[in-house]
Each structure stands twice: as structure tokens, then as C-alpha cells.
Structure 1
Amino acid sequence: MSNPYYGSSNSSSDSCTNVDDLVKRYYLPAMYGAIFIVGVVGNITALLVYVVKVRPWRSSTIIMVNLVITDLLFMISMPFLTYYYVSDDSWTLGVIMCRFTRFIFHFNLYGSILFLTCLAIFRYVAVVHPSHGRIIKQKRWGTLACVLGWTVAVAEISPVFNHFDTVPQNNKTYCLDLASSNPQIMWPYSWVLTVLGYLVPLIVVCICYWRIMKVLKKGPHTGSSKRVRARRLIVLILTCFIVCFFPFHVLRALRIYTRLTPESDCMLDRWVHAAYIISRPIAVLNIIFNLPLYTLSGDCFKQAFVEMFKCDRFMPKTKEVVKVAVISTPETDTVKVQSSWDSAGD
């Protein structure tokens, strides 16, 4: 029986495994469902804290809020995707909704990458060039960065919006994703997306945080709570880039390549497809990684969260710990570096 996910030589082979079908039917709904529940609760909570309690807003605050909004936009599409895979690849919502769900998946991916890159650049300026820290935390720079982020993300994905299509076959309608669409078009386009949308931001983020770490290693107090928090933030963002985004881009390219070579082994084709399917929810796990990012990015969000939800009664010793953790030595360049890091995150 023919299938739009495979070439004619592979779709009818009786010796093929159906591992990719099993992964789609059971793994994708479970992962998307879990991410949806955690993502909706976490991001709505974060948005409420930012809107209701966090004052004043600075450039980093605006970037964080836009990151929350990007994640919440993807949350809108997740129930439709989950239902689609539970229904054994049977799309019933029309071509526009199909294109919207596929578009918003990639928009969330590359929008998140861009906003995390903006955050890294702002941190870099605040810590490595502290004389510009007061300027870079002004709201207009955060607004400008987010407008550019949204514009670039839309520009990256828009060229293939109409290529996300529905295909009626086998008495049901398939909603094809990017790697399952026309491989002759998607092969060069996927490489443009990978280089401009992922590799260039990854290089920028690595350079920024490498310079930041060099500055944070200087002087005494390298084990202070502020520096520990700074290192955790860097590790979290780099983990997101490597663990979430890297496998998806590699396996997407491999998936499109196997579709370009219809003479490829049937088993290889199915296993590559299965691996690519597994990488898709992992790519959007950045939504979960972003949740602790809001706390690590600065004390302002943490304090606002505690005040809004009256969590202070569960941690009565917090204020005492904060009071004790005061550096009593005269102001040095080290203290200035820590102040620059925190002012960028407040």
C-alpha cells in the first residue's frame, strides 16, 4: 500500500519494519501531551509573574516575555498534533490548520534560538563591556531585538509555508511536515535553515558565553552564589542548543537525504524516519528548559514569583541567607562584574 512518507520502492515492501509508525502513534502523543501540560502551566505562570509583578521591565525582561509568548503560541498547536498522531495520521482540520501547525512548530524552534541568542549577546555586553551595561538594559534595545527576532524567524519559515500540505491517500488525509514534503525543494532549504537558523546562532552563543566565562573566572569569589547562578545559566542554554536542537537538525537532513535516494534500503529508510520522529519532541523540549531559565536569569523574577504566590512561608530562612551572603570587602572589579551580570538579568 502506498504511503506519502516513502518512495514507491519502499512503501510496498513486506520485509520493512513499521517501527516509525509505532513511534508516531505512541511516542509522539505521549511526549507532546506531557510537554503541553508542563508548558502551558509553566509558561502561563511565568507570563503572569512578568506582567503582574516584575517591575521595572528591562531589555532582558522583554526578551524573556517574548520567549514565553513564542512557547505559548506553539502550545496552541500541540493538541491538534497530538490528536493527529493518535488518529493514525488522519488529518481532518483542513490544509490551513495543517500549514499553521507545521509552521508554528518551526517558528517556535527558530524563534527560541534567536531569543536565546539575543539574551547571550545582551549578557556579553553587560559583563564583558560593563561601561555599556546601563545602555543595553534599556527597554528600547530589548524591544528592537525582539522585533528583529520575530521578523527573522518569520522570514526563515515563510518560504515553505505553502509546501506544508495535505495529501489524501489510503482513505485518509496526511498532513506532511517539512522533511516529508518535496525532497528536491526541502534538501537545499533545510541546509539554509540549519546554517542560518541554528549554526550561526550557536557560534554566536558559544563565543559570547566563552568570553563571559573568562571574565567570571577572574579575581576572588569565584564560588559566589551569583557566579554559580551565572554558570548554571550558561550550561542550561548551551545544553538546550546541543541536546534539543542538534539531533533534530542532523536527523532532519538525514531523513530528507534518504527520501532523495529511493534506492536506499527500506529498513534504513524506516529507522531514519523513526529517529527523526524521536528528535522532534526533543527539539521542543526547549520549552521545558526555558522554565528554569526565567529564575536563573535574575533575582527579580524569583522574588516576584515568591511574592505573587506567597511562597515565602515555605522558605522562612531565605531572607536570612540573602542577608548573610553580602560581600563585605571593598568594591573591586569582581564585584562590578557580578553587578553587571545581575543588572542585565533584572
Structure 2
Amino acid sequence: SEGKTIYTEDQNCTDVDRLMKRYYLPVAYAIIFIIGLVGNITSISIYLTKLWPWKSSSIIMVNLALTDLLYVLSLPFLVYYYSNEDSWTLGDFMCRYVRFGFHLHLYGSILFLTCLSVFRYVVVIRPLWAAQLQQKLWGIVACSAVWIIAAAEITPMLTLFSLVEHDNKTYCLDFASIRVDDVRRYGWLLTALGFLLPLLVVFMCYIGIVKQLAKGPSTTSAWRMRARRMTVLILVVFVVCYLPYHILRVLRIETQVMPDTPCMVHRVVHAAYIISRPLAGLNTCFNLALYTLGGDKFRKAFLSTFCHGCWLTKAKSQHHLAIISNASSDKPDV
């Protein structure tokens, strides 16, 4: 372990967690940074230039992309940190910014995805409300509520993050590695209200949409199937990205609280927790797929922007074939 959570080292205990931080985290964060930066800048640009006027879902999507973009912009600092023999040299402010930014992205994204699930559920269950729900006001209200709730959930962390000196090194501790007495109850509360409750809401929305789609002759309509695919993708993000992180974060904290925990248990749990941290940020890549399911003609706008050359080449080819065909048809029979 590191910083204030350092325990007595066992000479026979593997340092797999240190190897994971040294080699796995920089690579994983670098990949997420590249994909997330390009993808989210592209998505925001398309929404700003191609998809006016915005609907409520568009406003939520743009806020989700902004949340992801703010997160990926902090990743180069973590890549540098873990590549630099796990020693923080960027000062206290940047440490707080990076750690706080991760959790703002995490719980902000969870709430934005929950809002999208609820909106799709209402559209499927109450189709007559669809036009009203698409008004900008509902998107503004939803996004304002998300930012306020997410900030309220994680503001206490600002008092927890700090630099720690140990063995002539400076550590910028992650949430599960700082003052265990302060984070244990807060961690459980954050997991319950910030993750499990939204997960329950998303799951109930999925069940409601599936039941509704099983009724009536219009079950295969495009907008209903798009709503189902979007809710399924959001549920996958919750299970693949968020669930492992929250489970392993709780285990990480609890293994430090328990007295006489074997060194190997500490190391294995810490290594698993390290693996889950980039997974929690991997949702930035999954979120890119949501934009094509948002009903805002995002796919068409994307193709018109980046495949213009492809379409132009195809059009020229078809025009050339048409000329040849016409010329052949004009030839006299022999």
C-alpha cells in the first residue's frame, strides 16, 4: 500500500499491486485518453455545428460528453504520475484536481445515464408525452439537477485528498487509500446513493421498456427499438464499468480496516482494485456509442462530416458508370 495506509511489509509477499500501478495504469489511462479525447471533441463539435436546434436528449448528451472530456484531460497527469515511479511532483492543487475530477466524472456520468434511461422509459410508456419531454427546458432542468447532486455527493472529498510524504516520495492518494476512518462510512454512503440507487432506476426502466415493447403491433417501431438498445447499453456500462469499481473499492477499504489482514490479501485486493479504476473510466468509450442511438440523427451528421470524401468518390464513380452505361445504350445494334 501507500501513504498513510502503509502496513508492515512481508518479505514473502508479492508486490503485484505495485507492478500493476507501474505498468498497467499508464497504458490503460493513455488508451482511454486518446479515444476519449478524439471521440468527445468530435461528438461535441457535431452537436454544436450539425444538430441544431437541440432537444432535451441533445442537451443531456452534450453535458455527458463535457463530463467525459473534463475527465480525459486529467489523465495525462496520472500517466505521468504512475510512470514516474509513483511519485507526485505536480503539487497539492493538481492532486486534488485529478482525484476530484475523476469522481465528478464518475458520479456525474452515472446520473446523466440514469436521466437518459428515465427519459427513454417515459417516451416508450407514454408516447403522447414524447413531444413535451423533448423540449429544451426538461434537458436544462435534468442537467442542472445532475451537476448539483454530483457536486453535493463528492464535495466532502476536497477535505480528504492531500499529498502524503513517505520514504522520500510524495504520494497523491486515491480515495480508497486515504485515512480509512474518514472514508469508510462515506464510501458506503457514496456507493449506495451514488451508484446502487441509480443502478436500480436504470434496471427498472429496462424492465418497463421490455414489457411495453412486448405489447401491441408497434413493438418493432424504430424509436422504440432505439430506446431499448440505448437502455441495454446503459445497463452494460453500469455492470461492466461501474459495478466492479464500487465492489472492489469497498473491499479495498474494508481489508485495510480489518486487523491482522494477511499481506497477500492486501496485495490481491489492491491489484484487483487497480484494474477496476480504468474500467470505471472506460465508460467514456461506451458513451460514444450512445450518441448514435440518441435519435438526433447523429450518425448521419457524423458521416456527412467525416465521410464527405468517401461519398464524393462514390458519387463520382456512380456518375462515371452512368455515362458508360448511356454510351453503351446509344451504340447501334449489329
Give your verdict on TM over 0.5.
yes
Structure 1 residue aligned with 2:109, among 103, 107, 112? 112
| Paired amino acid for 2:166 | Q
**Any idea what SS the aligned residue of 1:8 has?**
coil
Residue in 2 aligned with 1:334?
none
Q: Summarize the Cα distance change of 1:110–1:139 in structure 2 as closer, same or farther, 3 Å threshold.
A: same
Give the equivalent residue in structure 1 for 2:7.
8
Contact in 1 for aligned 2:88/2:170 (Cα 8 Å)? yes
CA distance in 1, matches of 2:291, 2:118: 17
For residues 281-328 of structure 1, give each alpha carbon's deviation from its aligned partner in whole angstroms, at most 9, with x where no partner exists: 0011100000011001215211221222244718979xxxxxxxxxxx
- Return the match for 1:38 from 28, 31, 35: 35
What are the superposed Cα offsets for residues 99-141 of structure 1, whole Å, 9 maximum, x if unpaired?
1100000111100000001111111111111222221111011
Q: Is 1:70 the counterpart of 2:67 in the alignment?
A: yes
**Would the aligned equivalents of 1:7 and 1:259 in 2 still touch at CA under 8 Å?**
no
Which amino acid in structure 2 is aligned with residue 66 of structure 1?
Answer: N
Identify which of 243, 246, 265 aligns with 2:243. 246
Structure 2: gaps (5+ residues): 316-334
Unaligned runs of 5+ in 1: 318-346
Query: 1:200–1:300: structure 2 CA closer, same or farther, 3 Å change rule?
Result: same
* In structure 2, distance between residues paired with 1:147 and 1:225: 30
Partners of 1:29 and 1:260 lie apart in 2 by 28
Distance 1:26 1:315 in 2: 44
Q: What is the match of residue 338 of structure 1? A: none
Determine which structure has more spread, i.e. the larger CA radius of gyration.
2
- CA separation in 2, counterparts of 1:94 and 1:15? 35
Work out the CA distance in 1 between the residues paired with 2:205 and 2:123: 11
Tell me the SS of whatever aligns to 1:263.
coil
Distance (Å, rounded) in 1 between the aligned partners of 2:296 and 2:129: 21
Aligned to 2:132: 135
Paired letter, 2:305: M
Match of 2:89 among 77, 89, 92: 92
CA separation of 1:280/1:266 partners in 2, compared to 1, >3 Å: closer, same or farther?
A: same
Distance 1:291 1:163, change over 3 A: same
Written as runs of structure 1 = structure 2, the 5 A alignment for 1:40-189 is 40-189=37-186
Letter in 1 for 2:176: A
1:309 aligns with 2:298: no
SS in 1 for 2:3: coil
Aligned length: 314
Q: Taking every aligned residue pair, what percent have the same amino acid on both sides? A: 54
Question: Partner of 2:164: helix, strand, or coil?
Answer: strand
Return the letter of the residue paired with 1:313.
Answer: W
Contact 2:124 2:227 in 1 (8 A): no
| Aligned partner (choices 187, 191, 194) of residue 194 of structure 1 | 191
> 3-state SS of the aligned residue for 1:173?
strand
Instruction: Measure the CA separation in 1 of the matches of 2:116 and 2:269.
Output: 34
